[in-house]
Amino acid sequence: MNINIALFGIAREIVGQSSLTLNAPVGQSAAGLLADLRHTYPELAGLRSLAVAVNNEYAADDVVLHERDEIALIPPVSGG
């Protein structure tokens, strides 16, 4: 399945674009996606934290991703 991932802040700069389309195995979990991305973009592993958001909610490691989900990579937030 193809999934689209929105990228923000330092994650967007590390990857070099504001979104990614990846071919992921059916049943891919949030943790699996993070592991794949850290493998492809090792600088992501140096961040203080990195979360996956699915449909505007933070996703636990075992959340399964679906093709139509709105997926985003959330580097350490610093609003306020």
Per CB under 8 A, residues contacting another protein are 6, 8-10, 12-13, 46-48, 53, 56-58, 70, 72, 74-80
Q: Which is nearer to another protein, 24 or 71 (CB)?
A: 71
Rounded to the nearest whole angstrom, what is the least distance from the CB of residue 79 to another protein in the complex? 3
User: Rounded to the nearest whole angstrom, what is the least distance from the CB of residue 55 to another protein in the complex?
Assistant: 9
Per-position b or e across 47-65, b if 16+ CB within 10 A of its CB = eeebbbbbeeeebeeebeb
Identify the CA nearest to 34 among candidates 13, 62, 67, 66: 62
CB of 64 or CB of 77, closer to another protein = 77
What are the φ/ψ torsions at residue 60 (nearest 5 degrees)?
A: -70, 165
Nearest residue (CB) to another protein, 25 versus 42: 42
What is the CB neighbour count within 10 angstroms for residue 8? 15
CB of 65 to another protein, least distance (A): 16
